[in-house]
Structure 1
Amino acid sequence: MLFEQIATGGCQSYLVGCAATRAAVLIDPELSRVDEYRGLIGQLGLHLRYVVDTHTHADHFSGSRDIGRALDVPVVMHRFSPAPHAAFRLDEGDLLMAGDLRLKAIHTPGHTADSMCLLLEDRVFTGDTLLIGGTGRTDLPTGDAHALYESLFEKVLTLPPETLVFPAHDYKQRSHSTIAAELADNPRLQKRTRAEFVAMMQGLDLTAPTHLTEALRTNMTGAKPVSQLLAEAAAKVPFMSLAELASRVGSNTCDMVILDLREREAFDAGHVPGAVHLPRGQLELRVNTDLPDPTVKILTCCEFGKISTLAAATLRELGYLRATALEGGLAAWRDAAYPLSDRAA
């Protein structure tokens, strides 16, 4: 077996491959590392057969959909997953076959209704069902403390004691554990009766994950997170530096439209001299009247450079092929002590 563990902060992803056939499976990829996974797959001479999410993640963004599309491989999840992009759905006991590898699905609801573990030879990939020194939480959507108790004590923890445990998260730089070690040392597993375990899980006072709503929205539907939208927009537009804009504003040959996309109050409080006000929310509705010449150079501005990046990409899609965005936005312009005007252009 070929085996690679890839850590992204506290998130853990796994690439397993068949040494004989080079067929491979990628488990719980993180969106920000998609290019690295693809590079690693190529470097090792592997052919990816499946990309798997062990459950609907609520604390980070899955890279499964993007990898699946890029490499034309199916996204695999449990059959209870709500994700529309999961083309291959597993039931209890189903096997994923990649060359000589056999990964057995074990449905382990509790952290989420669609949680599953994958048993492969001497190891089990436990997702967020069983962590090193902990378990998945049960207070998020579709979580159930009773179901988690059954998944742990009636399924996962009945595996041979020497079985290696590879979870989807670990924040202490530990690579793996074993079933025996978790039974002996995991504080949550010392509550051996259902009543004690459920009471403990329901009494945990945990803060919500930072990106809870956005992660659930994107992972459940296949939509894109804002960071990905920004990255894709940034790849489609050029940028103008603050110094370049300052040199043009300071001359009498500023041959472009400087488009300030902020709301009126922010615009009136101070804007780049000569800028035209057009709120982002009205851009598509007013673009034909306010920007009648599609060949003109347009520089979009906002407070921090994010909305202007999205707007510049939109303008290019609408046919304004010389649209560009101000790097850093008005906040950086002010910090650099460049001139501001409070007079309407």
Structure 2
Amino acid sequence: MFFQQVADGGCQSYVIGCAESCAAAIIDPALGQIDRYVGIANREGLRVRYIIETHTHADHFSAARQLAERMGATVVMHRNSPAPHVAMRVDDGHLIAVGALRLKVMHTPGHTRDSMCLHVDDRVFTGDTLLIGGTGRTDLPTGDPAELHRSLFARLLLLDRETLVFPAHDYKGRTHSSIGTEIDGNPRLQVRDEAAFIEMMRGLNLSAPTHLTEALRTNMSGGKTVRQLLAEAALGVPFVSLEGLAGRLEGKRNDFVILDVRERDAYARGHIPGALHLARGQLELKVDETFPDPNLEILTVCELGKISTLAAATLRELGFGRAVALDGGMKSWREGGFPMETGEDPALLI
């Protein structure tokens, strides 16, 4: 069996393959590691057949859809998963054939309705059902502490004590544990009574994961993250440096326009001298009447350089092929001590 663990912060994902057939699967892939998974597969001569998610993640962005498209693989999740891009939905007891390997599905709801573990040979991939020294939380959408109790004590913990445990997360640098180690030392597993376990889980008072709603949206729908949109926009947009723009202003060049795409109150509090104002939300509706010449160089500006990148990309899609964005945004412009104007000039408002 080929096996490699890939860490992305506290997220743990796995590449597992059959040495005989070179077929492989990737379990719980993280969006930031796509090139790494592809590199591992190429280096080892593996053909990735399946991208398997143990559950709908709420604390990181899944790479399942992107990897499936890039590698010609099938996305696999439990049948309760809401994600529309799942091509093969499985249920408790099903086997996923990866060459000669057989990954047995164990439906283990509790952390989420669609949580499942994957048992193969001497190891089990536990997702967020069982963590090293802990368990998955049950206070997020579709979580249920009573179901988690049953999944743990009536299913997962009945595996052989020597079975290796590979979870979807660990924030302390640990790579794996075992069923026996967790039974003996995991604090949450010492509370075996169901009512007491439920009370303990409901009283954890955990903070919400970063990017909770965005992660759920993208992982459930197969949509794009804001980071992806920005990265895609940046691929097709040139940038102008702060110093470069300052030099243009000092030279009183009039062969371009500066377009501030922030909200009107932010523009009034301080903007680059001579900058026109058109809020990003009005861009598509007003750009044609404002800039009839598609050959005009339009330099977009926002607070941090993100919205202006999207604006410049939109302008290019609309036919303004010379649209560019300021690298750094108004925050960097202010901190650099570059010239500013305040207030509103009606002639500069679009």
- TM-score, scaled to structure 1: 0.98
Matched to 1:245, the amino acid is L
Aligned residue in 1 for 2:327? 327
Q: Distance in 1 between matches of 2:319 and 2:59?
A: 38
Quote how far apart the aligned CAs of 1:33 are.
Answer: 1.1
Quote how far apart the aligned CAs of 1:43 are.
Answer: 1.4
Structure 1 position 215 matched with structure 2 position 196: no
Aligned residue in 2 for 1:89? 89
- Mapping 1:236-247, distance limit 5 Å: 236-247=236-247
Quote how far apart the aligned CAs of 1:51 are.
Answer: 0.4
Quote how far apart the aligned CAs of 1:254 are.
Answer: 3.3
Quote how far apart the aligned CAs of 1:273 are.
Answer: 1.6
Aligned residue in 1 for 2:55? 55
Q: Distance in 2 between matches of 1:328 and 1:7?
A: 30
Aligned residue in 2 for 1:292? 292
Quote how far apart the aligned CAs of 1:20 are.
Answer: 1.3
Aligned residue in 1 for 2:73? 73
What do residues 260-283 of structure 1 show as CA deviations (whole Å, max 9, x unaligned)? 111222222221122111111110
Runs of at least 4 residues of structure 1 off by over 6 A? none
Q: Distance in 2 between matches of 1:119 and 1:269?
A: 59
Quote how far apart the aligned CAs of 1:7 are.
Answer: 0.7
Q: SS of the counterpart of 1:166?
A: strand
Q: SS of the counterpart of 2:341?
A: coil
Aligned residue in 1 for 2:277? 277
Quote how far apart the aligned CAs of 1:253 are.
Answer: 2.4
Q: Distance in 2 between matches of 1:268 and 1:179?
A: 61
- The answer to whether the 8 Å contact 2:49/2:72 transfers is no
- Mapping 1:31-50, distance limit 5 Å: 31-50=31-50
Quote how far apart the aligned CAs of 1:34 are.
Answer: 1.1
Cα RMSD of the aligned pairs, angstroms, is: 1.0
Quote how far apart the aligned CAs of 1:114 are.
Answer: 0.1
Structure 1 position 165 matched with structure 2 position 156: no
Q: SS of the counterpart of 1:96?
A: strand
Q: Distance in 2 between matches of 1:172 and 1:268?
A: 47
Q: Distance in 1 between matches of 2:282 and 2:91?
A: 48
Aligned residue in 2 for 1:188? 188
Matched to 1:339, the amino acid is P
Q: Distance in 2 between matches of 1:208 and 1:289?
A: 45
Matched to 1:320, the amino acid is F
What do residues 177-217 of structure 1 show as CA deviations (whole Å, max 9, x unaligned)? 01100000000001112112112111211111111111111
Q: Distance in 2 between matches of 1:336 and 1:153?
A: 60
Residue segments in structure 2 that go unaligned for 5+ positions in a row: none
Matched to 2:85, the amino acid is H
What do residues 79-133 of structure 1 show as CA deviations (whole Å, max 9, x unaligned)? 0000001111111111111111111110000000000000011000000000011
Percent identical among aligned pairs is 61
Q: Distance in 2 between matches of 1:141 and 1:341?
A: 47
Aligned residue in 1 for 2:10? 10
Q: SS of the counterpart of 2:5?
A: strand
Q: Distance in 2 between matches of 1:185 and 1:264?
A: 58
Matched to 1:201, the amino acid is M
Matched to 2:288, the amino acid is N
Residue segments in structure 1 that go unaligned for 5+ positions in a row: none
Q: Distance in 2 between matches of 1:42 and 1:233?
A: 28
Count of residue correspondences: 345
Aligned residue in 2 for 1:340? 340
- Mapping 1:261-276, distance limit 5 Å: 261-276=261-276
Structure 1 position 107 matched with structure 2 position 110: no
Quote how far apart the aligned CAs of 1:221 are.
Answer: 0.9
Q: SS of the counterpart of 1:86?
A: coil
